[in-house]
Amino acid sequence: MKRIGMLTSGGDCQALNAAMRGVVKTLVFNDEEVEIYGFLDGYRGLIYGDYRMLTGKDFSGILTKGGTILGTSRTPFKTIKDPDENGLNKVEAMKHNYYKLNLDCLVILGGNGTHKTANLLRQEGLNIVTLPKTIDNDLYGTDMTFGFQSAVDIATNCIDCIHTTAASHSRVFIVEVMGHKVGWLTLNAGMASGADIILIPEIPYDLKEIVAAVERRKKNSHFTIIAVAEGAISKEDAKLSKKEYAKKLKESPYPSVSYELADKIGKATGQEVRVTVPGHTQRGGSPCPYDRVFASRLGSEAANLILKGEYGFMVGYRDREIVKVPLEEVAGKLKSVSPDARIVKEAKMLGICFGDGK
């Protein structure tokens, strides 16, 4: 009998349930007698021994269900080695609960921070297999993460809906898409929805270039759609230190970069500018068909690693193939959009402005 622990950590997204279902169904289909221990609310459940036994019924009917049946929470890696408020050593507590339940493996679903802690647990001697989850698609070692395509679909639909009212009122519309550090989601949703301007964190913008692009649009179409990543930054602010920039954001009168841009573009062009923020809707709802299939495949391959006793890997996706990636290659690395990436160059060839004057 194999005893498997399972947890979902970090922000929620679509297809977490589909991925867990893929793991369990594959193990059961291969006639493997298995006990599944679901740790509740991410690493917090592993730290404090908050878990429940799961049966096949728990994984029935969840392929299309968003969120996570186990619950999730954020347990920052930078404080994972710090004692909790009662002096508890969190790393030792996680190890204790792992060995207390006599687990053969711990399956962890999460993004960047989650994988740092997963790799730490691997270094501490635990058998770990991970699955790549995040709507940002910024996890190193995999071309795709589940949740990403579902979020692209939602953000794209939002921008699609904005087109009609923007055209009707001859307005400039800014749609703020999720993505603090990377712009994969904004880039893909912006291109898919025909945005005229796309601003992402990796390509600092010049306000003058944005205004010029809006003015060019006024001559023909009278409206402009701007897709802005929540982490987009101006060339001036990009020169600031992290501490200086954090101080500026704290003292800013604007709720976010989108509202600052709306104010400045409106003053420079004389056009009405409106901001739409789809926010957490991008992480919610049912997973799209692509993510259901993709997460199921990843879950199946994770189960295959467990059956073979191969631990210490993330199940990733490279060059259209499911692959196993050593955790030490993933942890602590970010997959950003290169300003010279082909997709960026192709977007510019389509006439999309990135605010960099290139």
Name the percent of the chain lying above pLDDT 70: 100
The domain limits of the chain are: 2-147+287-330, 151-283
136 is catalytic: yes
Mean pLDDT of 149-173: 93
Q: CATH for 2-147+287-330, among 3.40.50.300, 3.20.20.220, 3.40.50.450, 3.40.50.1100? A: 3.40.50.450
228 close to 186: Cβ distance less than 8 angstroms: yes
Confidence label for 358 from pLDDT (cuts 50, 70 and 90): confident
Whether the per-residue pLDDT at 187 is higher than 80: the answer is yes
Phi, then psi, of 105 in degrees rounded to 5: -165, 155
Mean pLDDT of 221-227: 92
At 170 the pLDDT is 82
pLDDT per residue over 244-260, tens digit each?
Answer: 999 999 999 999 999 99
Q: Who wins on pLDDT, 84 or 218?
A: 84
Least confident window among 19-28, 165-174, 185-194, 286-295: 165-174
The number of angstroms, rounded, from the C-alpha of 176 to the middle of its chain's C-alpha atoms is 15
The residue type at 249: L
Mean pLDDT of 91-108: 98
Average pLDDT, the chain: 95
Name the percent of the chain lying above pLDDT 90: 92
Confidence label for 357 from pLDDT (cuts 50, 70 and 90): confident
**Number of other CB atoms surrounding residue 60 within 10 Å:** 11
At 219 the pLDDT is 83
Helix (H) or strand (E) holding 257, with range, is helix 257-269
Residues pairing with 84 in the sheet: none
- Intrachain domains 2-147+287-330 and 151-283 with the same fold: yes
Alpha helix segments (H runs only) across the chain: 16-29, 43-48, 90-100, 112-123, 148-169, 184-192, 207-218, 235-238, 242-251, 257-269, 289-308, 327-330, 342-349
Q: What is the number of residues in the chain?
A: 358
pLDDT per residue over 231-247, tens digit each?
Answer: 999 999 999 999 999 99
Confidence label for 143 from pLDDT (cuts 50, 70 and 90): very high
* pTM of this structure: 0.95
Whether the per-residue pLDDT at 132 is higher than 80: the answer is yes
Q: Who wins on pLDDT, 56 or 261?
A: 261
Whether the per-residue pLDDT at 31 is higher than 80: the answer is no
Whether the per-residue pLDDT at 166 is higher than 90: the answer is no
Whether the per-residue pLDDT at 352 is higher than 80: the answer is yes
Which candidate, 164, 60, 180, 169, places its Cα nearest to that of 111?
180
Mean pLDDT of 53-76: 94
At 293 the pLDDT is 98
pLDDT per residue over 332-346, tens digit each?
Answer: 999 999 999 999 999
**Number of other CB atoms surrounding residue 213 within 10 Å:** 20
Catalytic residue (choose from 12, 41, 136, 138): 136
Phi, then psi, of 178 in degrees rounded to 5: -65, 155
At 45 the pLDDT is 97
Confidence label for 32 from pLDDT (cuts 50, 70 and 90): confident
For the domain 151-283, what is the CATH code?
Answer: 3.40.50.460
